Structure 1
């Protein structure tokens, strides 16, 4: 999973096949324990995928880019919801925070690209019903 603008040799990647989750990072230091694993977190009610934990995230140093990609189940969208109202959400102390995301309708994936560490290490694809002026739920 390439990150545009970065040499693929400098990208560390982790995949959790059963969950359809992928994370790629460009960082000065990527610990050996960096990877994806099953999460025991309770997913939000509007989750469209299983929650996944990014291991070793706190130990990444000199982060340049983080790319998170999740497969989601469009059949879990509420009736009348737009198929583009999907976002990668991160579990924080205040609940699930949606990240600015891009949806690939053909592949049924949602992706977020960040230039810093995400605000949490547990991620999920979720229904994002906020408009541009409201960032309150995922």
Structure 2
């Protein structure tokens, strides 16, 4: 029996639920391994060889190699674990978030200082402005 997941209709959003946690277990464990200096050095010396030590899917490994964080999240990665990759690369969390939005770090900073992304187009799939702004789908609480 499939679980009801009313949050699946949020545009551009992957919710880290139990299914995603199972899917990304090895990817997230790899990320956590980067907390140890010796593992960071091994990873930086030969990324592919280090990734091949983990029972990750080829798709997950390719996403890590490409530093495609959005794809990593789709494949079960948790952003708090994925931040270890950014730290290993000497990148800030702000830089990582900017790359995930397709913005420069400065553009991302300015957007956040201005109050964040507009809610327009980011409510629910199929929702259009004020006509449905107060709709509460069955089973969803706001």
Which TM-score applies when normalising by structure 1?
Answer: 0.25
Ranked by relative contact order (alpha carbons within 8 Å, sequence separation 6 or more), the top structure is: 2
Which TM-score applies when normalising by structure 2?
Answer: 0.24
More strand by share: 1
More helix by share: 2
